């Protein structure tokens, strides 16, 4: 065991996927558009309504009745996930380095079928992952309920901003169906669920609360980023939208996870103050090669970083404040949309 723990979201910092969106688009007619609408509704319930006992990322529960209508099974989720993994550049390099530097975990809102496929793909220990457990084989609708859910789908697509109607559909109409009780039991690992995962990791590793680095990119990462920030750990938004940028202390905007690796290396060998000092020096230095040498950045990481950015603009690594927030947000969202595509980049 190491004295520090590196905890990362999956989709965004490690992969370009939004697995649930991609499966919706693949298996359901107009499913991609349906998922985007429900994702915005999910953000609304979390950020505006602040609905009691509602977690960010519950889109993964809202979409399930529509999966059942298409007779999607666990085997479909597994097969699709195994064949549709798109990694952020150098994320495998990052995870390989971290195995020898810090206790390392993936804490993701994604379905377990995808996280297991990702773990196999990147040779990462599945036991060091947290995810949303869903058994779609256990979910069912009778013929009359299927007809109703398909009608709900058409209404949602035709009235994408009618959240009062959505409330009735999901918390009144579907709540009367037998499937609701099974869906209600599903623990989505988003928002507060991710914060709880951090507590479990700290207890498992026997580390201080301030010895955590958390990196995320979306609304489901707000609570864990707040935890890391408030307990004097490292909190990083990686190509994040406005939600993580509002609460993280550090922003990384980069097409490659090797940038994360630089920060992780400095943190693993020193402390948070040295990381913040490095970031300030990074933004004022005219000789990054010498800077990396001065901070004793691992030679393999150093070489990889300069290989990646030999013909590209160096990545943004900044401490977020009210003066640079808007500039960072624009650059971060542009990078997010550029490498992940606007459909996925636009999701909360």
Q: Residue 333: pLDDT above 90?
A: yes
- Ramachandran region, residue 340 (left: φ > 0; alpha: ψ -120 to 50; beta: rest): alpha
- DSSP classification of residue 86: -
pLDDT at site 261: 98
pLDDT at site 347: 64
Q: Residue 346: pLDDT above 90?
A: no
Q: How deeply is 270 buried, as exposed, middle or buried, from its count of CB atoms within 10 A (0-12, 13-18, 19+)?
A: middle
Mean pLDDT along residues 101-127? 97
Confidence grade of residue 348 (pLDDT, cut at 50, 70, 90) = low
User: Rounded to 10 degrees, what is the CA torsion of 277, 266, 243, 320?
Assistant: 10
Q: Residue 259: pLDDT above 80?
A: yes
3-state helix, strand, coil in the chain (%, to 5): 60, 10, 30
pLDDT at site 56: 79
Report the C-alpha gap between 213 and 224 in whole angstroms. Answer: 10
Q: Residue 180: pLDDT above 80?
A: yes
Q: Which helix (H) or strand (E) holds 318?
A: strand 316-319
Confidence grade of residue 265 (pLDDT, cut at 50, 70, 90) = very high
Q: What is the pLDDT of residues 280-302, one digit of tens each?
A: 999 999 999 999 999 999 999 99
Between these two residues, 347 and 111, which has the higher pLDDT value? 111
pLDDT at site 87: 97
For residue 314 the two structure tokens come to 């160096």
pLDDT at site 272: 98
pLDDT at site 124: 97
pLDDT at site 343: 65
Of 272, 259, 266, nearest to 317 (Cα)?
A: 259
pLDDT at site 1: 85
Q: What is the pLDDT of residues 144-172, one digit of tens each?
A: 999 999 999 999 999 999 999 999 999 99
Residue whose tokens read 């009745």: 65
What's the mean pLDDT when you consider all of the chain?
95
Phi, psi of 110 (to 5 degrees): -60, 160
pLDDT at site 55: 78
- Ramachandran region, residue 53 (left: φ > 0; alpha: ψ -120 to 50; beta: rest): left
Q: How far is CA 209 from CA 59, 101, 126, 221, 257, in A?
A: 30, 18, 23, 17, 25
Q: What is the pLDDT of residues 47-95, one digit of tens each?
A: 898 888 787 789 999 999 999 999 999 999 999 999 999 999 999 999 9
Specify whether the CB–CB gap between 28 and 126 falls below 8 A: no
Mean pLDDT along residues 225-238? 98
Confidence grade of residue 345 (pLDDT, cut at 50, 70, 90) = low
pLDDT at site 154: 98
Global confidence as pTM: 0.94
Report the C-alpha gap between 131 and 87 in whole angstroms. Answer: 18
pLDDT at site 49: 86
What one-character-per-residue DSSP string does 207-263 give? Answer: --TTSEEEEE-SGGGHHHHHHHHHTT-EEEEES--HHHHHH-SEEEE-SBTHHHHHH
């Amino acid at each position: 065991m190491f004295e520090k723990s590196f905890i990362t979201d999956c989709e965004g910092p490690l992969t370009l996927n939004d697995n649930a969106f991609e499966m919706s688009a693949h298996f359901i007619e107009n499913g991609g558009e349906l998922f985007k609408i429900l994702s915005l509704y999910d953000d609304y319930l979390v950020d505006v309504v602040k609905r009691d006992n509602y977690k960010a990322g519950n889109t993964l529960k809202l979409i399930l009745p529509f999966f059942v209508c298409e007779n999607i099974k666990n085997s479909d989720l597994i097969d699709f996930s195994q064949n549709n993994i798109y990694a952020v550049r150098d994320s495998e390099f990052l995870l390989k380095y971290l195995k020898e530097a810090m206790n390392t975990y993936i804490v993701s809102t994604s379905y377990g079928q995808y996280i297991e496929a990702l773990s196999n793909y990147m040779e990462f220990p599945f036991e060091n992952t947290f995810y949303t457990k869903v058994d779609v084989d256990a979910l069912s609708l009778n013929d009359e309920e299927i007809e109703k859910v398909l009608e709900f789908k058409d209404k949602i697509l035709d009235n994408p901003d009618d959240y009062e109607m959505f409330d009735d559909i999901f918390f009144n109409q579907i709540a009367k169906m037998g499937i609701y009780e099974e869906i209600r039991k599903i623990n989505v690992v988003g928002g507060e669920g991710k914060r709880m995962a951090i507590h479990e990791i700290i207890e498992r590793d026997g580390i201080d609360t301030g010895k955590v680095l958390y990196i995320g990119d979306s609304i489901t990462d707000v609570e864990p980023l707040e935890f890391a920030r408030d307990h004097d750990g490292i909190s990083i938004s990686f190509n994040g939208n406005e939600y993580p940028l509002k609460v993280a202390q550090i922003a990384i905007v980069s097409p490659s996870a090797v940038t994360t690796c630089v920060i992780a290396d400095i943190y693993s060998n020193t402390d948070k103050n040295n990381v913040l000092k490095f970031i300030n020096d990074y933004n004022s230095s005219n000789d990054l090669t010498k800077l990396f040498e001065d901070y004793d950045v691992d030679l393999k990481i150093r070489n990889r970083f300069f290989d990646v950015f030999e013909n590209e603009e160096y990545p943004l690594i900044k401490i977020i404040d009210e003066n640079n927030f808007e500039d960072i947000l624009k650059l971060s969202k542009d990078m997010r949309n550029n490498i992940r595509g606007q459909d996925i980049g636009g999701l909360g």
